[in-house]
Amino acid sequence: MSAQIRYWQTFSTLKRDAIYINRYHGRVERIDRLLNMFSAMASSGSVAGWIIWKDLGLVWGAVIALSQALNAVKPYLPFRRRLAALAALGPDLEALALVAEADWFKVSDGQLTEQEIHSLMMALKTKAQRGRSRAPPCQRIGGYWS
């Protein structure tokens, strides 16, 4: 396999990973925001609802209990750690993908030797690995952590 094809594969994998991490970050952020909103609304709104609709006290009591249970287990849910890891990793991968894209012109145009292409590719892989290792560890983000 030529160095040009290997560089393309490295570049496309890096770009795919950057897109995946950014989308996954958005998803985890949305889930965390929804949990926070539910907790806030349930805590304050349920007490008001309980006062207004006393005949539904059991329902409002269940909502308050669910909200309190969520607040109790929330520190043990992985969303905060994932957000920190994704926030650290996403911009690093995106920046590397931009560097790879800028160098791709020279690679595809045949301006570089096989050795120069290999050096560029290895530099990208090394920087990507360094970025992944700098991100706070958590369980399973896009196959980077186990």
> Rounded CA gap, 55 and 94, in Å?
55
Q: For residue 14, what are its two tokens?
A: 């890096």
Rounded CA separation 132/134 (Å):
5
Cβ atoms of 97 and 18 closer than 8 Å: yes
Q: 98 or 77: whose pLDDT is higher?
A: 98
Task: Give the Cβ contact number of residue 142 at 10 Å.
Answer: 15
Whether the Cβ atoms of residue 29 and residue 22 lie closer than 8 Å to each other = no
Per-residue pLDDT tens digits for 26-40: 998 898 888 888 888
Q: Please determine, for residue 5, whether its predicted confidence score (pLDDT) is greater than 80.
A: yes
Domain chopping of the chain, boundaries: 3-134
129-145 tens-digit pLDDT: 888 877 655 554 444 44
CB 145 within 8 A of CB 92: no
CB 99 within 8 A of CB 64: no
pLDDT given at position 41: 80
Which is higher by pLDDT, 97 or 42? 97
Between CA 18 and CA 2, with CA 94 as vertex, the angle to 5 degrees is 75
pLDDT tens readout for residues 38-95: 888 877 776 676 667 667 777 777 877 888 888 888 888 777 778 888 888 888 899 9
44, 64 Cβ separation under 8 angstroms: no
Following DSSP, what letter does each residue of 12-79 receive, concatenated? HHHHHHHHHHHHHHHHHHHHHHHHHHHHHHHHHHHHHHHHH-GGGHHHHHHHHHHHHHHHHHGGGSTH
Q: What is the pTM of this model?
A: 0.73
